[in-house]
Amino acid sequence: MRKLKEILTYIPLLILLITLWLNYCYQRQQELIILESNTLKTSYHLLISSDKMNDVLKQMEASSSNFWLIREMKDGNKEVLNIFANDWLKISFPLKIGRLLSTNDVSTALVGQSVETILEEGREYVICFNQRYEVIGRIGMLDNSPLSNTVIISDKRFLFSDGEVSLNGDFEDSKLVDLGEVGDNRGIERLLSLSKFALLIQIGTLVLVSLSTIIWIHFFIQKKCICYRIYYLLGKDYQSIYRKELCKLFLINSSIMALSFGLFVAIKERMDILFQFLLLMVFELICFTYFFYRGLDNADK
């Protein structure tokens, strides 16, 4: 019973981590909605001319940030997006089912819900520019998605062909900004700034989690301060008590992070949220150290 009560005292920590997780999921959902509404272009993107294409490809390859080129084409009634990325593993597109492309210049494709496909020997294919591509996923999460009649390929043959090319990604501190002109935003962001609203939600959530952490650690120390005092009177020094409690808090946080890491690997999810978990753990340990010694000082008085 005593062990159960001790475990229950850490329930607020789990709630705080779940809050961070839900906020992360919300942010990701907003990012995907923005991309889907703007035909997989970022709100800020550049239009690239053919004479700058080689320079752009070199800069993309050298950059540690995530960038992708989109050349828009038409094949009959199908909208075709030929996409080249410097790292497909870092890209998140609004998938309904299936998986994303894993590398450039492959004979696989993603298709919208309304695109006609053919089945052969249990595999699904789409014909695009008289070339057969194996379908590995369905693009578009929204009902009546603007991508419903779209085929996404990555084919080097069309990289330098005619058509509009846009460069998308995170342009912060990037030399790529000078290689093109800013393109028009045709997505939901031109009507409603979802990214700014999502940023406010994120800041508010982080402030709430930080304040809740301080309050939880404060009451946690207050509740156990008498026990610490008794341990001290029984011969244990405060340093050993502090180290034991700190290790316990560290192990609980580490266990949760390890489980989260395993889950994210299993579902092939990005690891961004683990950095927030790590920051929360460091903040908890700092708060615990402060309130532990402050509580002991008050008890001595």
Helix axes 272-300, 11-37, angle to 10 degrees: 150
Write the CB contacts of 291 (distance below 8 Å, at least 6 apart in sequence).
217, 218, 220, 221
Amino acid letter, 280:
L
Listed residue (102, 112, 111) closest to 132, CA to CA? 111
Mean pLDDT, the chain, integer: 85
Residue linked to tokens 């509404």: 37
Percent of the chain with pLDDT over 90: 29
Percent of the chain with pLDDT over 70: 89
Q: What pLDDT is stored for residue 297 in this prediction?
A: 61
Asked if 109 contacts 126 with a C-beta cutoff of 8 angstroms, the reply is yes
Pairing of the two strands 181-182 and 46-47? antiparallel
Asked if 151 contacts 75 with a C-beta cutoff of 8 angstroms, the reply is yes
Residue 162 has pLDDT above 90, yes or no: no
The three-state secondary structure class of 192 is coil
Cα 99 versus chain centre, distance: 16
The mean per-residue pLDDT over the stretch 197-206 comes to 88
Beta bridge partners of 75: 78
The secondary structure element, H or E, covering residue 126 is strand 123-128
* pLDDT bucket at 2, cuts 50 / 70 / 90: low
Give the domain ranges of the chain.
2-28+195-300, 39-186
Rg (CA), the chain: 26
The three-state secondary structure class of 98 is strand
Among 16-25, 78-87, 220-229, 278-287, the minimum mean pLDDT is found in 220-229
* pLDDT bucket at 142, cuts 50 / 70 / 90: confident
Q: What pLDDT is stored for residue 83 in this prediction?
A: 94
Q: What pLDDT is stored for residue 271 in this prediction?
A: 67
* pLDDT bucket at 159, cuts 50 / 70 / 90: confident
Listed residue (141, 164, 157) closest to 46, CA to CA? 164
Give φ, ψ of 136 to 5 degrees. Answer: -115, 0
Listed residue (188, 23, 155, 136) closest to 81, CA to CA? 155
Residue linked to tokens 């939600």: 201
- Say how many C-beta atoms besides its own lie within 10 A of residue 24's C-beta: 19
Q: How is residue 83 annotated by DSSP?
A: E
